[in-house]
């Protein structure tokens, strides 16, 4: 079971250490555009020109890693880093959003590159291509870390790269996406390992939820997790203790494709309401997919120099027993026929679009990527395995 590690207790209980100060380019983290596949040149350019603070150049969840897409993506990234992107006469604005590259996770290989007879991990291919060819910043999102030992591996990779490419020590900065239930118990340790290279932590809500379903799929008490507040509060309070930026999840709405029962004004109001709660908790910013949401979300988050007073998470005492109980005690939720149908629809439509080389698909007014598709797949498997009753019917979820 996930737990706070005894062997690293000294790191957690030492209140004196902090991560290194942020460079000027990373001090305002109000809005990043998420799920931007670099293979989509038009979306990449519009995201850079959107007025957001950053663009998550995503080789992971929002990208379909065909060889054609991946090479085109790295070429587009090279052009973007030099201000040379041009689509239908539109070019990069004078002060574009910061490029923050999200390499693939360690579970994905790049079969088109072999070194000493071994296929190169996709994470190293994407990282190496970006650092060697661009070297700006360089700033990263690190996905799907399962614990502090992976952070230590990335630290060694960063130090090796800085030495080889003659970058100043600590110039590589990375935001770690806390997307795994085990990593949620090792956030202090992750920040400590990357303290010279850290640009904070982000709540990777969808992968985090999927990790609970996948890791505990055989256990009926872990059906339908819904403890997001405690996970977010722990992340933010950890970051505040270590002077690290804390950012929260992506708004999935696509305003031009909302279902008939939801207006654009209502979607924007829901976005403002949700992000206001996160700002109150102490979040420094969030991600959006729809560029029309940049301004509404930016208005919610004040810049760090404007923020005053205590946030909810900064006043939450760190209590290992309480957080362990809250993170692992999940309610027995209800499964509706609509939720079953929606999960089937998301999973099938995502696979269909992925087979056509697209890393995202819009379903019911929200963008879906490999993380949300994995939740749909994993929940369906779990519901079938446990033959979960469907609310309001005499039926159970089964394979037929």
Query: Is 364:259 a contact under the CB 8 Å cutoff?
Result: yes
Length, in residues, of the chain:
400
Cis peptide before 371 (omega within 30 of 0): no
Classified as helix, coil or strand, 133 is helix
Burial of residue 215 (CB within 10 Å: 0-12, 13-18, 19+) is: middle
Q: Is 29 a catalytic residue?
A: no
Under DSSP, the state recorded for 305 is G
Question: Got the DSSP string for 134-191?
Answer: T-STTEEEE----SHHHHHHHHHHHHHHHHHTTPPTT--EEEEEE-STTGGG-HHHHH
CA distances to 86, 171, 220, 334, 388 from 384, rounded to whole Å, are: 49, 48, 11, 14, 7
Q: Is 60 a catalytic residue?
A: no
Closest CA relative to residue 361, chosen from 59, 351, 256: 351
Catalytic site residue from 207, 284, 290, 369: 369
At 189, list the tokens: 């340790």
Q: Could you tell me whether strands 366-368 and 118-121 are parallel, antiparallel, or unpaired per DSSP bridges?
A: unpaired
Query: Is 183:190 a contact under the CB 8 Å cutoff?
Result: yes
Catalytic site residue from 12, 29, 30, 102: 102
At 30, list the tokens: 């109000």
Burial of residue 377 (CB within 10 Å: 0-12, 13-18, 19+) is: buried
Distance separating alpha carbons of residues 400 and 388, to the nearest angstrom: 14
Element (H, E) at 298: helix 294-300
Q: State phi, psi for 197 to the nearest 5 degrees.
A: -130, 10
Catalytic machinery residues: 102, 369
């Amino acid at each position: 079971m996930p737990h706070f590690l005894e062997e690293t207790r000294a790191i957690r209980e030492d209140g004196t250490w902090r991560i290194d100060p942020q460079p000027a380019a990373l001090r305002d983290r109000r809005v990043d555009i998420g799920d931007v596949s670099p293979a989509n040149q038009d979306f990449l350019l519009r995201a850079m020109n959107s007025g957001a603070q950053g663009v998550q150049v995503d080789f992971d969840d929002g990208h379909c890693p065909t060889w054609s897409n991946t090479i085109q993506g790295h070429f587009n990234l090279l052009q973007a880093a030099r201000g040379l992107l041009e689509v239908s006469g539109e070019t990069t604005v004078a002060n574009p959003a910061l490029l923050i590259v999200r390499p693939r996770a360690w579970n994905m290989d790049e079969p088109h590159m072999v070194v000493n007879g071994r296929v190169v991990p996709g994470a190293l291919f994407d990282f190496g291509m970006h650092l060697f060819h661009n070297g700006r910043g360089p700033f990263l999102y690190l996905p799907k870390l399962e614990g502090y030992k992976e952070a230590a591996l990335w630290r060694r990779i960063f130090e090796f790269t800085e030495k080889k490419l003659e970058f100043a020590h600590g110039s590589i900065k990375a935001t770690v996406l806390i997307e795994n239930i085990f990593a949620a118990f090792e956030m202090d340790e992750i920040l400590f390992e990357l303290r010279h290279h850290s640009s904070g932590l982000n709540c990777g809500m969808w992968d985090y939820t999927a990790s609970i379903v996948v890791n505990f799929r055989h256990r009926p008490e872990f059906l339908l997790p819904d403890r997001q507040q405690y996970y977010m509060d722990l992340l933010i309070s950890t970051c505040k203790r270590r002077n690290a930026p804390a950012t929260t999840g992506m708004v999935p709405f696509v305003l031009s494709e909302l279902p008939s029962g939801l207006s654009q004004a209502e979607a924007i109001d829901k976005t403002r309401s949700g992000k206001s709660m996160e700002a109150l908790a102490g979040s420094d910013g969030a991600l959006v997919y729809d560029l029309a949401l940049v301004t509404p979300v930016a208005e919610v988050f004040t810049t760090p120099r404007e923020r005053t007073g205590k946030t909810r998470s900064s006043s939450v005492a760190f209590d290992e027993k309480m957080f362990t109980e809250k993170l692992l005690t999940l309610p027995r939720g209800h499964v509706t026929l609509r939720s079953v149908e929606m999960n089937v629809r998301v999973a099938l439509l995502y696979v269909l679009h992925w087979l056509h080389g697209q890393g995202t698909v819009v379903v019911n007014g929200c963008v879906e990527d490999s993380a949300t598709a994995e939740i749909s797949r994993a929940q369906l498997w779990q519901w079938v395995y446990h033959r979960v009753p469907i609310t309001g019917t005499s039926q159970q979820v089964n394979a037929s």
